[in-house]
Structure 1
Amino acid sequence: MSTTWMLPRRQFFRSLRQSHYTSPVSSEFLASSSFKFVNPRHHVVATDNVSQKFPAAEIAGLSDQEVLALFTSGFFSGFIFGFERWILRIGGYNLLPARYTGFQPDSQAATIWNRSKVPNTHLLPIGTCLFGSFSILDKDFAEPSDYSSSYVDYGFGSDEFIFAGCHRFQITRLPPNMDSESESGSKGKQPELQVQIQLQHFRCNPQRNVPSVAEYIERFHYVYAKALFANGFQSLLEREQSNRT
């Protein structure tokens, strides 16, 4: 088993330094089917987005699904999520089960309780529930030849409860930045391709049109989101580098 989940390594600290935390998320995310399942009454939401750009060469040979699977594995199976994972496994999921009115899971969906069962090569079927509280609500993969985004959505909480939300893990392969030629001073050299990884997030109170209870721990959420993102990034970059050696 990989040791990625055990200790913070160089890529983890690199991400903490280089990732950016902002409040807005994409309009596509807020108009998605996942948003409608989690927040069917369109109550007020709080949003945030952790993102990081890096050279596409660092994940050369990986499909979008493989990238998202590696990030998922690091996020949910890593050391940062460890305490929350333990709380959920001993019964904490009963306080916040993933359940949405009208949502129909895939017939192959199951509940995963062991971190070693979270694959790092592919994404699980829609409706799969991780540790009783995080359900895959949607996933979509872009064509390799275009510059659109691929994503997977993990809903948490319930539209029948006072707290719910959704994480979107997203990869976007960015078009060449032609300005990089003049900036580097290397005319005729192909600009370096970049990719962007994002952790988009919204949370709400599906029952009442008021801010969710999580707004009382906003500072903690900022630190936790950055650290979870860094754990996912570490899983992605370390796995790819180990495959090259």
Structure 2
Amino acid sequence: MTVKGFLSRVVPQGTFFLSLFQSSFTFPVSKDLLTSATFNHVNPRHHTVATDCVSQTVSSRAVKGLSDEQILALFTSGFFGGFVFRAESWALNLLGARFLPARYTTFRPTPEALKVHRVSGISNKSLLPVGSLLFNSFLLVDKHTKAASEKMCENSHEKQNETPSSYVDYCFGSDEARFAGCHRFRVTRLPPAGDNTGNEGQVRIDLEHFRCNPQENKPSWAEKIPMLHFVYAKMLFANGMQALLAR
């Protein structure tokens, strides 16, 4: 990793504070997340869930030359490897396997799955294999990245109103416990506005989130601290955006 890449994780920069200001926080998430295989692994009984989403849109120029997977990898490196998450990662490495293990009855990891205990194990160029475990408590349950051929179709005139996206799902908790949920990092390439193909397109980054009590059909304990979650989610998102934009 370059010195610039290292600093984008561990030192607050202008892009971090700009993201705090420019990102939006809403409660609904996409329907496809709540009907996904990931959702069924984490919440097999379909108990009530709490959801929220932090989003920011940047110009295509800001991520020029990056594939969807590279965007997601950079964001992941800032989210889990940045200064905001640092204290939590230390605590989870020590206690996560005992008190907050990530495991789901119906999920099976791929043979290539890795266990990551250090920030250096999080690549900023490619995503980890499905089933990889971060800091004992975050499990990569699913990922989908668009191929170049799909992007070419998306940019055609017939597809201008469609916004297919790439995503990666990091889940926490257990369906055998009373707390579980998922962070979905999503990248969506938006077409230029109007019919003028000279207009610059945009890219939207989303941090979608749901949490639940898989054992009892009632809100999880996290609903007692909504303001803390709001602040922490915005800061984690901003750290991810800093790693992406300050690459």
Structure-2 separation of matches of 1:205 and 1:125: 27
Gaps of 5+ in 1: 180-187, 240-245
The answer to whether structure 1 residue 88 and structure 2 residue 92 are counterparts is yes
Distance between the aligned counterparts of 1:222 and 1:46, measured in 2? 12
SS in structure 1 of the partner of residue 185 of structure 2:
strand
For 1:184, the equivalent position in structure 2 comes to: none
Deviations 1:160-214 (A, max 9, x none): 00000000000000011118xxxxxxxx682221010000000000000000110
Aligned to 1:234: 242
1:144 pairs with one of 121, 132, 151 = 151
Aligned to 1:175: 191
User: Secondary structure of the equivalent of 2:215?
Assistant: coil
Identify the residue that residue 164 of structure 1 maps to in structure 2: 180
Instruction: Write the letter of the residue equivalent to 1:152.
Output: V
Between the aligned partners of 2:192 and 2:204, the Cα distance in structure 1 is 13
Which structure 2 residue ranges, 5 or more long, are not aligned?
155-162
Give the distance between the partners of 2:29 and 2:179, measured in 1 at CA: 19
Separation (CA, whole Å) in 2 of partners of 1:203 and 1:26: 14
Q: Deviations over 1:92-151 (max 9, x none)?
A: 332110000020101010210000110000001000000000001100012222241000
Q: Which residue of 2 aligns with 1:46?
A: 50
SS of residue paired to 1:54 = strand
d(CA) in 2 for partners of 1:169 and 1:140?
11
189 and 35 in structure 1: CA distance in 2 versus 1, 3 angstrom threshold: closer
Report the residue type matching 1:63 in the other structure: S
Work out whether residues 171 and 180 of structure 2, in 8 Å CA contact, stay in contact via their aligned partners in 1.
yes
Q: Equivalent residue for 1:106? A: 110
How many angstroms apart in 2 are the aligned matches of 1:16 and 1:69? 20
Q: TM-score, normalised by structure 2?
A: 0.91
Distance 1:24 1:15 in 2: 20
Partner secondary structure for residue 4 of structure 1: helix
Q: Offset at 1:4?
A: 1.7
After superposing on structure 2, the runs of 4+ consecutive aligned residues of structure 1 that deviate more than 6 Å are: none
Look up the match of 2:218: 210
Per-residue deviation, residues 52-106 of structure 1 (Å, max 9, x unmatched): 0010111000000000000000000000001100101122332110000020101
What whole-Å deviation, never above 9, does each CA across 1:14-44 have from its counterpart, x for those lacking one?
Answer: 1000000000000000000000000000000
Aligned 8 A contact 2:9 2:242 in 1 = no
Does 1:61 find its partner at 2:65?
Answer: yes
In the TM superposition, 1:111-122 aligns within 5 A as 111-122=115-126
**More displaced stretch, 135-144 vs 122-131:** 135-144
Separation of aligned partners in 2, 1:125 and 1:149:
19
Percent identity reads 55
**Which letter does structure 2 place at the counterpart of 1:156?**
F
**Secondary structure at 2:239 match in 1:** helix
Distance 1:92 1:159 in 2: 16
Letter in 2 for 1:15: S
Q: Considering only aligned residues, what root-mean-square deviation do their CA atoms show, in Å?
A: 1.2
Cα deviation, residue 5, structure 1: 1.9
2: distance between equivalents of 1:117 and 1:144?
A: 29
1:198 to 206, 214, 218: 206
Shift of 1:217: 0.8
